[in-house]
Structures are given as C-alpha cells and as structure tokens.
A and B are shown apart, each in its own frame.
Chain A
C-alpha cells in the first residue's frame, strides 16, 4: 500500500488533469472524487492539492475562474486547456509504457525464483 500512496503523491498533477478532462471542477470536488474512486483509501492533503493546481496553472495546463458561492471564501474552478490535454495524453502514453515495462521485469524475477 505504501508503494501506491507514494505513487499517488508523485502523480497528483496528472490525477487532477484526468478529472478535469471529464469536466470543470474545484478543489474539494476533485478530492472527494479521488476519495470515492479509491474507496476511501486515499485523500489528498489540501496543501498538496492546491500546490498541484498552482503548478498546473504555471505550466498552462489549466485555467481558472472564481465562483461566487459565498463572500470571503469563493471557490476556484478549474478547466483544462489544450496544453493540459496534450500533457495528459503524453503522460498516459508514458504511464502505459512504464507499467508494461515494470510488470514485465517483475514477472520475470518471480518466474526465476519459482524455478529454483
């Protein structure tokens, strides 16, 4: 499980982008979706989440607008940009390659052990 949570932390940016490819969203909603999809096993810290938003913004992957829910603490809504979609597509390709490679290596190791 610690491998998964490490990887989750390391890939926050793209997990967020994945949600934004579906629809525009804001911090808490995305975090809640992550929680639901992972069956309550994972939840991002707010600081991590909003830090990732800033990185994505800086990189031109997302744009934002302010909501007008309440005075004093408006939500910041995010939408993915064409650059964001591009980055996400690239990331998914690289992810698939990495998973395939690692799986291959691990399966071979196991195979050798079992033969002995």
Chain B
C-alpha cells in the first residue's frame, strides 16, 4: 500500500520540471503521506481506507509548485524568453573574449605591447561582466514570477510573508552587485598598472574591494543577522584596512594598533548587546 502511495505521489509530479526544489518537495510530501498512513492504520483504519484518506488529503499540487516558483518558471514561454536572454548575454560576452584576442594581437603588432595589454583586459573584463550579468539576471526571473503570483495574497498573514520575500529579492541584487565588484576592481587594477606602472600601490584595490564586498553584505543583511555579521566583518576587514593604511602612510610602527582597536570595538559591541538585553528584561 505504501508503494501505491509512492506511485501516486510520483504521478502528481510527473509534469513538473526536474529541479532540486521539486524533488525535495516531492520527498517531503511523500514523507507526510507515509506519516499519515502509518498514523491512520495504527489507529485502526483499514489499509484501503487509510490510502483513500491520504490521497484525498493531498489537495492541489499546483499550489505547492506555485509556492516553489517552479510552475511559472516551467511555463514554456517565460522559460524560453529567459533562455534567449541568457544566451544573448553569454554569446556577446564570448564575442568580446574573441575580439580581445584579435584586437590585442593587432595592438601589440602595430602600436605597443602596453596598449595591447590594456585593450585585452578591458575587453575581457567587459565580456566577464556580460556573462555574469546574463547569469545573475536570468536567475532572478524565478523570483519575479514568484512575486507575480503574490497578487493573490490578500490576507494579513500572507502580506507579512510577502514583505519578507521582497527581502530575498534584495539578496539577488546583492549577488549582482557582488558579481560586478570584482571584475571592476580587476579592470581598475590592470588599467592603473599598465597606464601608470603603478602595480605596487595599485594592488591595494583588492584589499579595498574585500572591504567593499563586506560592506555590501552588511548593507543587504537582514536586521537579525546584521549583529553577528558586524563582528565577522570587523575582523575580516581589519587585515585589508591594515595593509592599505600601512602602505599608504608607510607607518608600519603605528598601524598595528588597528588590531587591538578592533578588539576594543568588538568588546564594546558585545557590552552594548548585553546592556540592551538587560534593558529589555
């Protein structure tokens, strides 16, 4: 009888796309059905009755699929459009890669190796940006379609959840910003390096970028997570900040003070938390 339940549940998901989320939803639903079946039979229902109860209790699976967001994503039209968009960005990115090789060869041959280097890295960076953007922006599609089905939500409780879902859309934005940050930093580093031969202080853009990345994470963090994240950022950021300050000022004898300072800030944050908690009580 359990196999019958399993077959039935698998049949319900037959037309759903084969994604991890769908697979997990199917497993969870099956576990729930089996739990119910065992419970019903343990309380004296006959296997046949229990089976009927379990099957009729499942309800409309499209409701579940819609919540996962796979239903809209599985819609052939929007799926196709997404695929086209991604293909466009990726192929244009690859085109830039190829162009980079050709243009570099020409520049090195007829003008100078330096110009060749600059052209090469600018085009590679632009290409990477396009590829990354193509990937990130099409992945957000699922969330936009998810919110479209949110128009049905009218009740209070679902409004609150809907508001919190908009937070997860911020997460997609965070990913996009983060993805652009590093190619941009690389671009800056290479331009400054090739144009002004400033490789040495120039590399400090990477520690600076690390700090920027952490600040982006903090800015997009949910209020509840922010506190824990702040302490982590404090420590991760100290090292790059230390490097930047030290190279910029040349005062290695003083800049190490940053680390004890960071410790003090951490303790201060901790004390403030303890203080607040005791206030609340």
Contacts and interface: CB of A to CB of B under 8 A. Distances in A.
B165 A45 contact: no
Interface stretch (B28-36, B77-85, B108-116, B244-252): B28-36
Interface of B is mostly: helix
Contacts of A47: 29, 58-64
B31 A54 contact: no
Contact of B161 (A27, A55, A75): A55
Contacts of A10: 154-158
B157 A59 contact: no
Interface in A79-96: 81-83, 86-87, 90-91, 94-95
Chain A interface size, as a band, is: 35 or more
A54 B164 contact: no
Contact of B156 (A15, A46, A51, A98): A98
A56 interface: yes
B10 to A, nearest CB: 11
B164 A73 contact: no
Interface in B7-57: 24-25, 27-36, 39, 57
Contacts of A72: 6, 27, 30
A65 interface: no
B157 to A, nearest CB: 4
A75 B188 CA distance: 50
Interface of B: 6, 24-25, 27-36, 39, 57-64, 66-68, 146, 154-158, 160-165, 167-168, 222, 224
